[in-house]
Structure 1
Amino acid sequence: MEKRPILSVPKTLLERLHDSISVVVLVYSVVYLILRWTDLPETIPIHFDGHGNADGWGSRAFLLFMPLLTIVLFIGLSLLSKIPHKFNYLRPITAQNAAHQYRTAKSLLSWIKVELVILFGYLQWSTIQNAAGHSSGLGIWLLPVTLIVIFGTVIIHIVRMRK
């Protein structure tokens, strides 16, 4: 295995903003769930098809899983961003390109982290809205927009890494 430089790459202002947004969404998700818990029926929609229509039902306890999963993802991606020298890269890492590659990789993780937290926050909010009878489904645009945003983020960062 190649010996890569281990650099301290501080968080950028944008990465700190992403973390702040993520924490606000996480806190809102937990508080909203607590406030709405007693109003929810025992059986809620827990799965939606590609068009955003509910097609699976289960216990409202499933809603406890969503913020927990989001917190695990947030913490995991935060910890992972501290070791960019361990990532796989498109090019060999040298002393000359290490800082750029590490910053770009950390930026990618930061963007993916905030996008996933917002996605899971929206899914939880929407599931609660569906369970309460305030809306029907997730909407047909959720899946394509999510795929475009996440793959777009990855592609943009791959292009930056190749420079």
Structure 2
Amino acid sequence: MVNSWNRPKLKIAKTISEWIWDIVGYLCFAGSILFLLLVWGKLPDEVPAHYNALGEVDRWGSKWELLILPGVGAFLLIFMQVLEGFPEVHNYPKRFNESNARQFYLQSRKMINQLKNICVIIFTLLLIESVSIALGWGSGLGIWSLPIMILGVGIPITVGIMKQRKIK
């Protein structure tokens, strides 16, 4: 059995899917900041600041609170990007060993990559939704907000765990 302190450190090139996820995630992040800069002057003093489980605005706050969304997005991007780079510190089942380390590392890294980028996309959607409601462009995703977030995060985790279970 290999413990987490002496797991092999392997260099595994990023896959095409990881590059695609990163491009989409970083473009969404940059786009959300650009979007916020473009509409900032048009925003009213109060914007949606919190939503209930039905996707209804249940608290209004200062437009400055919108900066929290890209701030949290930036933190997640940086933190999870670093975590992606060290798959040897991730959690693995007891059957992990040096012969299957490459498979486990790759699968775990791909799952973290997808989660990182999906979280950024979700924060982008929340920002767009809040701005849209504040400017009267629409009513947002409504009741679909929470299911989209749960499925967006839950599907990659479930698929990742199922793929890891197939590793011998």
Range of TM-score over shorter length: over 0.9
Tell me which residue corresponds to 1:43. Answer: 46
Match of 1:89 in 2: 92
Query: Residue in 2 aligned with 1:145?
Result: 148
* Aligned structure 1 segments of 4 or more residues deviating by more than 6 angstroms: none
Task: Give 3-state SS (helix, strand or coil) of 1:141's partner.
Answer: helix
Percent identity over paired residues? 31
TM-score in terms of structure 2 length: 0.92
* TM-score normalised by structure 1 residue count: 0.95
Aligned equivalent of 2:79 = 76
- The Cα of 1:95 is off from its aligned counterpart by 1.2
Consecutive unaligned residues in structure 2, runs of 5 or more: none
Partner of 2:136: 133
1:34 counterpart = 2:37 = yes
User: Which residue of structure 1 aligns with residue 56 of structure 2?
Assistant: 53
Give secondary structure in 2 for the equivalent of 1:44.
strand
Deviation per residue, 1:13-32 (Å, 9 max, x gap): 11111111111111110111
Whichever residue aligns with residue 57 of structure 2, its letter is: A
Gaps of 5+ in 1: none
Structure 1 CA distance for aligned equivalents of residues 165 and 70 of structure 2? 35
| Alpha-carbon RMSD | 1.3
Instruction: Output the amino acid matched with 2:108.
Output: A
Q: How many residues align?
A: 163
